[in-house]
């Protein structure tokens, strides 16, 4: 959090200098100060997301407590905690990972300091396909490979998200996809791979993101998978 605050203070100082020294219009400088730092941040995150660290003993106690306060709900859904880690991106975050005891479903809970979120994830044998169910609309802003199925339910509880995930899991089974039960030890590596896909996509389409944000691009994923237009599934039907 401190690193992020310092970064934006430097950006504000540079913006003020451009206005005062160069006499550039405020609107132009404001747009420049938004576009360039965020573009740099996507590049930085794409590089840093490939490394993970143990959660430091000091400085992250509140985040741990915030996640662990909800763990009784997670455990009641049939999940066991299998991993935890820390990533040093432009906004440091910690993650707790869980695996369902009876179904091929992982859960990862992220805490960014001010906000937190989660993803329910299932892997499939066919086409390196995955199903992700999340409350985070930011996940729907980036272009996704056709086999990366996504459904978003903002503000839904863990139980509601898990119910929606299982419903779409049954739908995909009916379309011939077979859930793959990855070992818990491999899950972190898959998370890192997905993050790299996300940030690489962000870099490649960065200048389209403001338009997509205004058009609410993520809304296409804010419904159950069977109600979405998914080309890969339409081709197989």
Cα 105 to Cα 122: distance, rounded to the nearest angstrom:
5
Residue 153 within any structural domain of the chain? yes
Residue 52 or 13, more confident: 52
40 and 77 belong to one structural domain: no
Residue 92 within any structural domain of the chain? yes
Above 70 in pLDDT, residue 42? Answer: no
123 and 174 belong to one structural domain: yes
Residue 112 or 224, more confident: 224
Above 60 in pLDDT, residue 5? Answer: no
169 and 214 belong to one structural domain: yes
Above 70 in pLDDT, residue 235? Answer: no
Q: In DSSP terms, which residues pair with 94 in a beta bridge?
A: 86, 111
Exposed/middle/buried for 129, CB within 10 Å: 0-12, 13-18, 19+? buried
32 and 115 belong to one structural domain: no
102 and 158 belong to one structural domain: yes
pTM of the model: 0.81
Between CA 103 and CA 113, with CA 108 as vertex, the angle to 5 degrees is 160
223 and 190 belong to one structural domain: yes
123 and 84 belong to one structural domain: yes
Residue 55 within any structural domain of the chain? no
Residue 34 or 2, more confident: 34
137 and 181 belong to one structural domain: yes
Q: In DSSP terms, which residues pair with 150 in a beta bridge?
A: 132
115 and 156 belong to one structural domain: yes
92 and 42 belong to one structural domain: no
Residue 207 within any structural domain of the chain? yes
110 and 145 belong to one structural domain: yes
Residue 196 or 68, more confident: 68
Q: What is the pLDDT of residues 62-120, one digit of tens each?
A: 999 999 999 999 999 999 999 999 987 766 889 999 999 999 999 999 998 888 999 99
SS3 111: strand
Residue 24 within any structural domain of the chain? yes
Residue 56 within any structural domain of the chain? no
Residue 53 within any structural domain of the chain? no
Cα 69 to Cα 139: distance, rounded to the nearest angstrom:
25
**CA Rg value for the chain:** 20
Residue 31 within any structural domain of the chain? yes
The answer to whether residues 87 and 51 touch, using CB atoms and an 8 Å cutoff, is yes
Task: Please give the sequence-ordered ranges of beta strands (E in DSSP) within 4-158, or none if there are none.
Answer: 79-87, 93-100, 106-111, 116-124, 130-134, 148-152
The answer to whether residues 126 and 176 touch, using CB atoms and an 8 Å cutoff, is yes
116 and 42 belong to one structural domain: no
What's the domain range around 13? Answer: 2-48
User: Stretch 228-236: mean pLDDT, rounded?
Assistant: 68
Question: What is the total count of domains within the chain?
Answer: 2
Tokens of 63: 């985040």
């Amino acid at each position: 959090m401190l690193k992020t605050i310092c970064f934006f203070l430097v950006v504000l100082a540079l913006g003020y200098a451009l206005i005062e020294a160069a006499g550039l219009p405020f609107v132009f400088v404001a747009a420049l100060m938004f576009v360039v730092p965020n573009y740099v941040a996507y590049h930085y995150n794409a590089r840093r997301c490939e490394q993970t660290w143990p959660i430091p003993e000091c400085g992250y106690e509140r985040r741990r407590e915030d996640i662990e306060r909800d763990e009784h709900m997670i455990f009641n859904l049939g999940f066991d905690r299998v991993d935890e880690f820390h990533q040093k991106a432009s906004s440091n975050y910690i993650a707790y990972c869980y695996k369902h005891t009876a179904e091929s479903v992982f859960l990862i809970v992220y805490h960014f300091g001010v906000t937190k979120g989660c993803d329910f994830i299932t892997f499939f044998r066919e086409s390196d396909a995955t199903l992700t169910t999340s409350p985070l609309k930011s996940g729907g802003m980036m272009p996704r490979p056709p086999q990366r199925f996504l459904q978003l339910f903002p503000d839904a509880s863990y139980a509601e998200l898990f119910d929606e995930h299982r419903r779409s899991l049954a739908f995909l089974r009916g379309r011939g996809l077979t859930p793959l039960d990855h070992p818990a030890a491999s899950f972190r590596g898959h998370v890192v791979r997905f993050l790299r896909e996300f940030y690489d996509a962000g870099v490649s389409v960065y200048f389209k993101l403001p338009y997509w944000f205004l058009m609410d691009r993520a809304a296409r994923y804010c419904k159950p998978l069977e109600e979405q237009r998914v080309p890969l599934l339409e081709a197989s039907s």
